Every structure is written in structure tokens, then in C-alpha cells.
Amino acid sequence: MDVTTAEFEAEVIERSKKTPVLVDFWAEWCAPCRMLGPVLEKLAAEPNAPFVLAKVDTDSNKELGARYQIRGIPAVKLFADGKVVAEFTGALPESSVREFLAKNLPSEADTLVSAGDFDAALAIEPGHPRALLGLARAAIEAGKLDEAGTHIAAINPRSDEAAEGQKLLEVMSLVQVGADAGGVDACRTAADANTDDIAARYNLACALVGSADYRGALEQFLQVVRQDKKWNDEAGRKAMLKVFNVIGIRSPLADEFRGELAMLL
């Protein structure tokens, strides 16, 4: 499809959050562009092609050329999840373009993971780190901490997901506290019975982490800090940092409670 500056946000940025979009920045007068264009169109037209091809005429859409720092054409950029994840410049032969796509497009297992079908992804690609991480998260939410630990231990330590797995292990220690205290209902009853009982409130926060109620957990941990910043070696503050790591250190929820925590400290 031909895409203009006005259409780029919807047809490339937003669409790439569901399906990878390969963008060909070209111009009519560019001979190498006329060589590469048919190759890209051929690959995009193949059955079950895992990407959509978008063509941007740089003469008619100079703003896009400037935004993406196009200094030579043809320039090809692969968008996924709303951002550029790979690119090349020049008229590559078909074999090289296929190699580029094979290296940078999500595999069948990747697609299954994105759909939340972790078991199917592992059946195709045993040891897929994102699938193992997804199963670990699901196991934690189900209170199956031993199972979660097994999945985390199976993640390749050289993968990007290994660090995420370690963050989950830290959160699992909080979940275990909540589980040992009887779970959400029991912990809430204890905390409500004595609002000055910091330990009971901390246990409730940990139980809420186990049920994936991260806002509720952060509210309770914040109250622990409000009652006593130094309680149990600053356990409230440290627990909040662990939760931030799991929900996304720069997520809106983390930003909100980071500000609240900073005001208290």
C-alpha cells in the first residue's frame, strides 16, 4: 500500500502493533528503488507473508523522510510494536532481503507467545524464553510458585528475558509472604482488624501482589511507608521497587506511585 504522511500513524505505527510493517522509502526517479520495489512486493504477496508492505514516496512526503532521517534511498525500515526494529539501505538482492526478514520478523513461536498461547509456542520452539516467562507470570498469579520457579530456571541466562525472570523471582518472595499469611481475604481481615498493625498491612500488600492487583498492593505498601519508613529494614519501599520492575519501571502506574513514594521520603 502507498502511505502518505497523514496516513502514516494509522497505517504504519498503529498497524505494526498487531502486524509487522515493512516500509519502503523510495522515489520515482531512483533507479535502485525501481529494482528493489518489485522484490519487496513479491515477498509481501507470498501466501501467509508475516508482514505488510508500505511504500512512502519521499518526494511527496518530505516530512517523513526528515523524521526518519532518510539520507539515501531506497531505505527500508521494519516497524514492530510502533517502532523501527531493523533497517537497511540500498537495492539488496532477493536472497539478502529474505535473510533480513528471516532474522528480524517474529517466528511462528513468537506469534503464538504474543497471542498468549505459551504452551503451543514451546511445542514449536522448546526453551522459548518469552513463552517460559509468560508461563511463569501465569503460575505466580495462580499461586503456583514452585511451578513458576521451574519455568524461570529454564530461561536461557543469556537471553534478554533472563533479567525479567530474576525480577519475577524477587516478586515471588513477596507472593510467598502473602500466601504464608493466608491469602488476600485472611490478610485483609487481619489488616482491617488493626489498622496500626504494619506487619498485617504488609502481608496484605504481598497477597495482593500474588493476585496481580498491583495498584492495590502499591497502595498498601505505600501505607506501610507512611506509617513507618524504616519498618523492617525499609521493607515497604523495597517491595514497591520490586513491583515497579514487574509492571514496567516507566509504566504509568509505576510513575504514579514513584511520585507518591518520593513525596513521603
- Has 206 been annotated as catalytic? no
Strand partners, 78: 22, 86
DSSP three-state, residue 53: strand
DSSP one-letter code for 21 = E
CB 220 within 8 A of CB 201: yes
DSSP three-state, residue 116: coil
Single out the residue of 79, 96, 97, 77 nearest to residue 87, CA to CA. 77
- Has 30 been annotated as catalytic? yes
Angle 161-180/129-141 helices, nearest 10 degrees?
Answer: 10
Active-site choice (22, 33, 109, 131): 33
DSSP three-state, residue 77: strand
Alpha-carbon torsion (239, 243, 249, 255), positive or negative: negative
DSSP one-letter code for 9 = I
Give the whole-angstrom CA distance, residue 209 versus residue 75: 46
Single out the residue of 26, 27, 33, 3 nearest to residue 15, CA to CA. 3
Active-site choice (21, 30, 70, 208): 30
CB 216 within 8 A of CB 144: no
CB 140 within 8 A of CB 207: no
Which positions are annotated as active-site residues?
30, 33
